[in-house]
Structure 1
Amino acid sequence: MTTLTIAKADWAHHSGLLSELRRRVFVDEQGVPEVLELDEFDATASHWMARIQDTVVATARMLDSGVIGRMAVLKPYRGKGIGSALLTAMIKEAKTRNYPLIQLGAQEHAIAFYKRAGFRVKGPRFMDAGIAHQHMHMSLNSALPRGFDFDMALRANPAQAILDLCKNARWELRIFSHSLEPPLFANAEFIRSIYDFAHRHQDSVVKLMICDELPLRETHHPLVELSRQHRQILKLRTLSIDYTINADEYFTVSDEDHLLVYPHQSEIDQILRSDDEIVAREYRLKFDHLWRHTKEPRSLKPFY
């Protein structure tokens, strides 16, 4: 894809162009009544458009109330990160305006996309123009934890983020998870990466600390098998239940300077990254403290 440009659009000058683009997506593709597609808010809303060369391929708008909507990407250009780029521009604008909150109504198929960007589901689903939607919002007041970065690309593909972290590790990996979450730790490329890392040199160490063994009994997990074959290098342990009760986040630490954190096994798309050595070292020390309260996974004996 050639150069993508995101810019604000003046409705007075670009209304014809943006209206036609929205008509193609919402009216022609989705069957939204044309009378509902344009409304009285267009004249006062802030609009953005995405261009590839001289072709306008996407648009979106934000009302003064912080409501984002009318995001439309022409079909041939979907799946190329254009929607994410538009959303990033609007979030940046909202922060500049000191909006405490931004909101939107997401079509059902787009809920995961907005979740990756940091939006949270709020309230019941509703129908709009005959299409199921979900209210979503993002608080802009709550700052990220010290030393962490927000990255939409990271949240769009947390498995790739974990893989990259492991590939760049030099001598130690510490992985604390609920049950070696399969979307992150069971794909073939990750397993190959762990195998290669473990055999990179004689001092390589991978520590795998889990909270719950049961899910690993119910399905064959390749990382459990790899640990069984290479116990001296890949050490799998279960955290004492007295400590799992207070586990409110899971994380992977590479050496002493790189870190990925997610809040819950079902919220891996809320993953955050830190390349701050001080922060990463704090999590390494936290891991080592918890590791002292682990034991070999008893219920996995038949598999381990």
Structure 2
Amino acid sequence: MNPDGPFQVVAVDYAGSLEALRAVREAVFVLEQQVPADLELDALDPRCRHVLARDAAGLPIGTARLAPDGRIGRMAVLRAWRGRGVGSALLHALLRLAREDGRDRVTLHAQAGAIAFYQRHGFTPVGERFVEAGIEHLAMERRLDRPLAVEDRAGAVAITTAIVAAARRRLWIYSRELDPGLYDHPRVVEALRGFGTAGLGGEARILLQDAAAVQRAHAPLIGLAQRLSSVFAFREVADPVDRTYPSAFIANDAGGYYFRSLGHRFDGEAGHDARGRARQLAGAFDEVWERARPCSELRALGL
């Protein structure tokens, strides 16, 4: 198992994936957190929708479930894979399932150590903390009928990682100078590497307003793009009118987007199943792309 490699999250049938689901949950809940096995496994499991994360070799590394009442639970990621965006990808896969079911909100019981993680993904506390299976928890919920508010760098990294991980074959990135603190963050770079090496014929178009600044900063994404030049393409905005555009965004072909009205800030709004908004951003992007200058200087090795 390579914790530095790419991973994939898919919805799975409970009966057909029972062995993989239990392997992760027993390792995390029963062995690591000492939750009694008779509490971890319950009669609700067969009625839930499950998602499973697998590494490049197909080994299970994370899982989560969505109950019939809209409650998210059994979120588990193997220790070696934590902090690499797996949890975010699992969570957003469940949010997509919840939207498919027509839900306007989801709930969960967050372990105390994971409260900040869920807050970054738009969940808000409900009531006071309580103890469940010997572990302190807090009930939380998230509305699904409005855009997700992103307020800080941590939230920006989480949502960007999730949007990249959810992309099928296309990504559109509009940035002034690759946003230091975001597109050079290890989790975002790793997600982009996974997209680039997935072998699905993917394409990521990246529009910059200041290619020279990106080059001077030796942005990690440049090196990645040089090694995967068939996937990543850079252009620099050339039209004077286009250069006055103040915003920044990323969008994918699965309906995900993260838009910042002021491109030098992290606060903005996002969605994971907002196909209309994502198409709108991609369409505006492509119009500027056609007028923009190819950044051949960023394709040369040895910067």
Provide the TM-score with structure 1 as the length reference.
Answer: 0.52
Rounded to whole Å, the distance in 1 between the matches of 2:12 and 2:23 is 14
Displacement of 1:106 in angstroms is 0.6
1:99 corresponding residue in structure 2: 103
1:286 corresponding residue in structure 2: none
Q: Rg larger in 1 or in 2? A: 1
The answer on whether the counterparts of 2:63 and 2:90 sit within 8 Å (CA) in structure 1 is yes
Instruction: Please identify, of 5-14 and 29-38, the stretch whose mean Cα deviation from structure 2 is larger.
Output: 5-14
2:82 corresponding residue in structure 1: 78
Question: Partner amino acid for 1:97?
Answer: D
Amino-acid identity (%): 35
Displacement of 1:111 in angstroms is 0.8
2:53 corresponding residue in structure 1: 50
1:156 corresponding residue in structure 2: 158
Alpha-carbon distance change, 22 to 134 in structure 1, aligned in 2, over 3 angstroms: same
2:247 corresponding residue in structure 1: 258
Alpha-carbon distance change, 126 to 261 in structure 1, aligned in 2, over 3 angstroms: farther
Displacement of 1:155 in angstroms is 5.6
1:272 corresponding residue in structure 2: 269
Q: CA offsets per residue over residues 51-99 of structure 1, 9 Å max, x none? A: 1122111110001111000011011111110111111111111111110
Alpha-carbon distance change, 29 to 270 in structure 1, aligned in 2, over 3 angstroms: farther
The answer on whether the counterparts of 2:48 and 2:68 sit within 8 Å (CA) in structure 1 is yes
SS at match of 1:272: strand
Displacement of 1:16 in angstroms is 2.5
The answer on whether the counterparts of 1:45 and 1:61 sit within 8 Å (CA) in structure 2 is yes
Alignment partner for residue 28 of structure 2, among 12, 25, 29?
A: 25
Instruction: Please identify, of 113-122 and 11-20, the stretch whose mean Cα deviation from structure 2 is larger.
Output: 11-20
Alignment partner for residue 13 of structure 1, among 6, 12, 16?
A: 16
Rounded to whole Å, the distance in 2 between the matches of 1:13 and 1:166 is 46
Alignment partner for residue 134 of structure 1, among 129, 134, 138?
A: 138
The answer on whether the counterparts of 1:118 and 1:270 sit within 8 Å (CA) in structure 2 is no
Alpha-carbon distance change, 257 to 16 in structure 1, aligned in 2, over 3 angstroms: same
Rounded to whole Å, the distance in 1 between the matches of 2:31 and 2:134 is 14
2:185 corresponding residue in structure 1: none
Question: Partner amino acid for 1:256?
Answer: Y
Alignment partner for residue 90 of structure 1, among 94, 114, 121?
A: 94
Displacement of 1:256 in angstroms is 3.5
SS at match of 1:127: strand
CA RMSD of aligned residues (A): 3.7
2:191 corresponding residue in structure 1: none
Rounded to whole Å, the distance in 2 between the matches of 1:153 and 1:4 is 21
1:66 corresponding residue in structure 2: 70
The answer on whether the counterparts of 2:122 and 2:148 sit within 8 Å (CA) in structure 1 is no
1:35 corresponding residue in structure 2: 38
Rounded to whole Å, the distance in 1 between the matches of 2:141 and 2:52 is 22
The answer on whether the counterparts of 2:75 and 2:87 sit within 8 Å (CA) in structure 1 is yes
1:109 aligns with 2:113: yes
Alpha-carbon distance change, 137 to 270 in structure 1, aligned in 2, over 3 angstroms: farther
The answer on whether the counterparts of 1:155 and 1:270 sit within 8 Å (CA) in structure 2 is no
Rounded to whole Å, the distance in 1 between the matches of 2:9 and 2:267 is 25
Rounded to whole Å, the distance in 1 between the matches of 2:72 and 2:154 is 17
Alpha-carbon distance change, 255 to 57 in structure 1, aligned in 2, over 3 angstroms: same
Provide the TM-score with structure 2 as the length reference.
Answer: 0.52
The answer on whether the counterparts of 2:246 and 2:261 sit within 8 Å (CA) in structure 1 is no
Question: Partner amino acid for 1:27?
Answer: V
Displacement of 1:20 in angstroms is 2.5
Displacement of 1:272 in angstroms is 2.7
